[in-house]
Amino acid sequence: MAKDKVSESKVTKPAVEDPEIVTTTSAMDKSTDDSVESIVKKKLISLYSLQMIDAQVDKISIIRGELPLEVQDLEDEIQGLETRVNKYKQDISDLEMEITGKQNAIKESQELLKKYEAQQMNVRNNREYDSLSKEIEYQNLEMQLAEKKIREFQNDIENKQNLVDIAFKELQEREKDLDVKQKELEDIVRETQKEEDVLKEKSRQQESNIEERLLSAYKRIRDNARNGLAVVPVERDACGGCFNKIPPQRQLDIRLNKKIIVCEYCGRILLDPEIVQDLEI
C-alpha cells in the first residue's frame, strides 16, 4: 500500500507558475471549483483582450518602422558634428591668439634690437660690446623662432579650417537628411496618431479591469518578450510564444482554467485556445 501511495503521488508533476500571477484554489473549498474557473477565466480573458489592444498599438509602431531610430541617430550625429565644428573653431581661435602673441614678441625683440644696437655705438670696452652682441644675437634667434612658430600655427589653422569646411559640409547634408526623415515620420504619425490615441485609451480602460499585481506581471513579461506577446494560446500542443512543447498534464491544467499558468521556458501566460476562439467569434 505504501508503494502505491508513493507512485500515485508522482503521477502529476506540479506546474511552475510565476509567483506574481499564480492563482490557485488552495484557499478555497472544492465545491467552489466552478466559481474559481469562472474567476480565472475572466482574468485570462481580460489579459488576452489587453494583449490584443496592445498588439494593435505595436503594429502602428511597426508601420513607423525604423524612422524614429533613424531620426534619433541623425540628431545625435548632427550634434556630434556641431561639437566637432565648434572644437575646430575654438582651436583656430586659440592658434590665432598664439600668432598674435608671437607677433607681439617679435615687436618687442625688434625694439630691443634697436636699443642694443644704439648702445653698441657708445660702448666703452670690448666686454660691453660682446655682451650687447650676444643680446642682439639672442633677440634675432627669438624672432626667427617666433616666425617659425607663426608659420606652424598658420599651417595648423589652414588644416583646421579644411576640417571645419569638411565637417560643415557633412553637417549640412545630415541636416537635409534629418529634415526629410522628420517629414516622413510626421506624415506617418499624422496618419496613425488618432488611431493610436484611441487604442491607448482602450488599453488604459482595459488595464483598469485587471488587478494591479497581475497587470504588473503582464507588463513585465511583455517588456521581456521580443515580440511583445505576454499572453499566448496553446497551439499544436506547444506554447504560442516560444513554440516549446507543453506536457499533457499542464495542457489539462490550462483547459481547466483553475489557475493561471506560465510557460516554463519563456515565462508567457498560457491560454486555452477555446478562449481565443470565443473572443474571435
Reported pTM: 0.52
What number is the average pLDDT over the span 81-90? Answer: 94
pLDDT at 256: 87
- Residues 265, 220 within the same domain: yes
Give the pLDDT band of residue 175 (cuts 50, 70, 90).
Answer: very high
The tally of domains found in the chain comes to: 2
CATH of the domain at 155: 1.10.287.1490
Residue 259: which domain range?
Answer: 13-64+206-280
The verdict on residue 154 lying in a domain is yes
Percent of the chain with pLDDT strictly greater than 90: 45
- Residues 87, 170 within the same domain: yes
- Is 80 exceeded by the pLDDT of residue 2? no
The verdict on residue 197 lying in a domain is no
- Is 90 exceeded by the pLDDT of residue 83? yes
- Residues 214, 159 within the same domain: no
Final residue before a domain boundary, out of 131, 156, 191:
191
The verdict on residue 200 lying in a domain is no
Q: How high does pLDDT run on average in the chain?
A: 84
- Residues 183, 210 within the same domain: no
Which CA distances in Å does 274 have to 44, 45, 240, 254, 279? 12, 11, 14, 11, 9
Give the pLDDT band of residue 21 (cuts 50, 70, 90).
Answer: low
Final residue before a domain boundary, out of 133, 167, 191:
191
- Residues 225, 175 within the same domain: no
pLDDT at 9: 34
